[in-house]
Amino acid sequence: MKFVKEGAELFIPDGKPVDEAVKRTTHMAISAHQDDIEIMAYHGILECFGKNDKWFAGVVVTNGAGSPRDDLYANYTDEEMQKVRKIEQKKAAYVGEYGSMALLNYTSSEVKDGKNNAVVNELKEIIEAACPQVVYTHNPADKHDTHVAVTIRVINAIRALPHEKSPERLYGCEVWRGLDWLNDEDKVMFDVSAHPNIAAAVLGVHDSQICGGKRYDLATEGRRRANATYAESHGTDNAEAMSYAMDLTPLIKDDSIDIGLYIKGYVDRFYNDIEKRLQKVL
C-alpha cells in the first residue's frame, strides 16, 4: 500500500502480509487524531476483539502535531510529539488486536482544505482495499473543525466508490461533543460494557495526551457510564457503558442528500421535542 505523505505508514500488529491483513477487515474507524479511535469507536474494537472472523482496522488521518503537552512532554517539539503519538497509536492497535493501523500523516490544514482532493482519494483507496462492512468516524456536529473535516472527507470518499464496494453502515461518533442531545429514536446506542480493562488500556496508552493535561481516559469512561444511566428515565440500566452515534448511512447510499440539511434534521427534531414537552406543562 503506497501512501501520499512522507512518514505515513501501515502497522500490522500480528505481522500478517499487508494484503491479507487489510482484506480481512470487517470494521474500520477513520479518525482525525491519534486516540480519537479509542474514544469514539470502542464498539468496533469490541465487535472484533478476540474473534477470527471479524477484524478491526484503524485509520488516523493527521500527524498529531500541535497537541497540548505538559509533564514529561512539556518541552517536546512538534516533531518529537508526532513520533510519540505514532508509537502510542501502535500500542493501542496491539493491545486492541487491530487487524491493521494506518497513519496517513496529513497536517490539519491539509485535511480542512476542501480543495485538497488527496485526502479523499487516499481514503477512497484504503476503504476500497479493505472493503469494511461498518465504518466509524466523527459526527458532523462535532465542535472540532478537523474532526468535521475528516467526516466530510470520509463521506465523499465513500460516495466516490462503486456501490458494491460501499460499506453497509457509516456511523458518526462522539468525541468533541456528546450525542446525548439526540432524540432517542435518532440515537444509535452501542453497548460498550464488555472488557472494561481493554477499554481503559487502549486509551490509557496515549500517555502524552493524558499527561498533557487532558484526562481523556476518565472523561470517556464517565461519558459512557453517564450515557448508560441516563439512556432511560423510567427503567433500570441495561448496560454499564454506552456510546452514541449518528447513523450517517443515508449519506453514502444517496449522494443527492445534502450533508448540512441532513444534520439540520436532527437539530430540528430535537427542537420540536423540546417544544412539545414544554407545551405539555405550560
What CATH number belongs to 9-281? Answer: 3.40.50.10320
- Phi and psi at 88, nearest 5°, equal -60, -40
Closest CA to 191 of 130, 134, 240: 240
Domain ranges of the chain: 9-281
Give 229-274 pLDDT, tens digit per residue: 998 876 777 899 999 999 999 999 999 999 999 999 999 999 999 9
pLDDT for 75: 83
pLDDT for 140: 97
Q: Please, which pLDDT band fits residue 78 given cuts at 50, 70 and 90?
A: confident
pLDDT for 67: 77
pLDDT for 65: 82
Paired residues of 42 in beta bridges: none
Please check whether residue 59 is in contact with residue 125, taking contact to mean a CB–CB distance below 8 angstroms: no
Closest CA to 140 of 125, 153, 121, 123: 153
CA distances from 141 to 1, 86, 152 (A): 32, 27, 11
User: What mean pLDDT do residues 55-69 have?
Assistant: 90
Q: Please, which pLDDT band fits residue 105 given cuts at 50, 70 and 90?
A: very high
Give 28-55 pLDDT, tens digit per residue: 999 999 999 999 999 999 999 999 999 9
User: What mean pLDDT do residues 62-77 have?
Assistant: 82
